[in-house]
Every structure is written in C-alpha cells, then in structure tokens.
C-alpha cells in the first residue's frame, strides 16, 4: 500500500509506504561445501508463502526512528535499519520512521528477517524515487544477507552459490494445502551451521523438484534436519505425524525450526 499526498497540482509526494514482507519455505536444502571465506554453498528451492507475513510501515520524517511490535525482536541493529543506512550512504536520502509489526516466527527458517530487509529496500526505493531496478536492489540485498535477494522478485527460484545465484522456476503450489508446525524453538543460523553434518553431495535438486510432488518424500531432503532432529526430537515426530495424516511431502524449512507439510486440498 502506497499513500500519496498532493501538495499542489504539479507535485505528488509519497506520504507513507505499507508493505507486507512474506515468508518462504525451502523445497530441499543441500549444503554443497564450505568455502574458504566461511560461507557455505547451497542448493535449494525457495518458495514464497504470502499467507505468512510481517507488516512494514515506512514514513518520511525529520528524524530517523525504528520501532517494532508483535513478536519480540532480539536486541541489536535491526535489518530494516541496516537497509536504510545502506541506501543512505549511497544516495544521501533523508530520514524516515520505520515501524515493523513482527508476525513471522524468528529462528524458524521462514526467512522473515531477510524479507523485512529486502522489503525495506523496496519501500525506500519507492519513497525517494531512486529508480533502482530489481537487479540493483538484489545487489544491495545481498549485502544485508544471503537470503535477502530472493525477496526482491519474490517468486519461486532455484538457489545456488551462497544464495546469490537464482534461477526462476515454474512451480505452483496454489492447488495444494500447506500446514505448519510452529514450535517454541529458536534455532539461529549460526548455531545450525556449526552443528551441520555434511551429507553425501547431491547436485540433482533442480531436476528432482520438477518431479511430481508424490516423489519428493524419498528424494528431496533438508541437510539441517539431521542435527535439528537429534537436538529436538519433537520436530522429527511432527514430520512423521504429517505423513501419517496423508501429507504428500513434509520437511523442516531453512535451518529450522518450523516443519511444513503439503497436502492435497
């Protein structure tokens, strides 16, 4: 939602921008290798879930301010603030007030923080008419985090590299029903990677995900499940429960902890 105010017949100014940063799920997540710079190369498919979202409001202001409501955000500089400072350093944009109503679970593998950062870039681009293309926004988003560029286009993509290499995919889950289990478990990405047990390298995900969903159960995996299920057995039990209920496919998303399942409607 973009709200305009007309100051005179020849000038239209944006009064505020309200956006809805959505979540994503991973259809498979394979860790290919750890690089010398400490980053991990991955293969994954990111699928946007627009029924799960935060609410982001950005308003031009004389002073800069960030506030939040909803789910409590851990202390530290919020990614929305980082996004503002990033563009401010290159374009000398004026101040804004940012309010984030947090609804997407944190430490859940749903990409909520990455989405918030990417959508803040989009909002600032609109407010200040920076005329940045999506490709330019993706470069800024990558500075914020490896998952952030995905949310600029916000369509299904095959992800490789450290998250910066993206290929559009024609995958549509709208005729299926998604169910989620939201445990009160926070798994930080840093902790998940520290406990990661590398599996046999599998580079076939791009082909596997094009198969019928009924075949995904025994072919597509999330490499983070091994350590997460050992540490939190409830996650494994929930996945098994979803399959007993008739799920076509179930998996942990990202580095955890949310478990999702795909059902026929």
HSE-up of 63 (CA within 13 Å, CB side)?
Answer: 3
Verify whether residue 24 is a known catalytic residue: yes
Catalytic position from the list 147, 157, 223, 239: 147
In the chain, domain spans = 2-167, 173-264
pLDDT confidence bin for 91, thresholds 50/70/90: very high
The pLDDT value recorded for residue 200 is 62
| Superfamily (CATH) of domain 173-264 | GHMP kinase, C-terminal domain (3.30.70.890)
pLDDT tens column, 220-259: 999 999 999 999 999 999 999 999 999 999 999 999 899 9
pLDDT tens column, 137-186: 999 999 999 899 999 999 999 999 888 899 999 999 999 999 999 998 88
pTM > 0.75: yes
In whole angstroms, give the CA distance from residue 253 to residue 265. Answer: 21
Catalytic position from the list 24, 138, 157, 239: 24
Verify whether residue 135 is a known catalytic residue: no
143 upstream amide cis, omega within 30 of 0: no
Q: How far is CA 138 from CA 40, 147, 163, 203, in A?
A: 19, 10, 11, 25
**What CATH number does the domain located at 2-167 have?**
3.30.230.10
In whole angstroms, give the CA distance from residue 189 to residue 108. Answer: 9
Contact 34, 101 (CB under 8 A): no
């Amino acid at each position: 939602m973009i709200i305009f105010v007309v100051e005179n017949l020849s000038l239209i100014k944006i009064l505020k921008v309200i956006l809805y940063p959505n979540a994503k799920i991973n259809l498979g997540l394979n860790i290919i290798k750890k690089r010398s710079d400490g980053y991990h190369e991955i293969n994954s498919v990111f699928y946007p879930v627009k029924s799960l979202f935060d609410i982001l409001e950005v308003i031009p202001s004389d002073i800069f301010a960030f506030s939040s409501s909803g789910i409590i955000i851990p202390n530290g500089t919020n990614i929305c603030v980082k996004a503002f400072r990033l563009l401010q350093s290159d374009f000398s944009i004026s101040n804004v007030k940012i309010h984030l109503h947090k609804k997407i679970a944190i430490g859940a593998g749903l990409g909520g923080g990455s989405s918030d950062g990417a959508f803040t870039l989009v909002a600032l681009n609109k407010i200040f008419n920076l005329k940045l293309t999506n490709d330019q926004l993706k470069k800024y988003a990558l500075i914020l985090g490896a998952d952030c560029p995905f949310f600029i286009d916000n369509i299904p993509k095959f992800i490789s590299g450290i998250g910066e290499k993206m290929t559009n995919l024609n995958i549509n889950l709208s005729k299926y029903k998604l169910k989620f289990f939201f445990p009160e478990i926070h798994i930080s990405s840093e902790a998940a990677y520290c406990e990661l047990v590398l599996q046999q390298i599998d580079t076939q995900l791009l082909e596997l995900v094009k198969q019928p969903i009924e075949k995904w159960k025994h072919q597509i995996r999330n490499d983070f499940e091994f350590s997460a299920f050992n540490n939190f057995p409830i996650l494994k039990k929930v996945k098994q429960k979803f399959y007993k209920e008739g799920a076509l496919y179930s998996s942990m998303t990202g580095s955890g902890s949310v478990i999702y399942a795909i059902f026929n409607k």
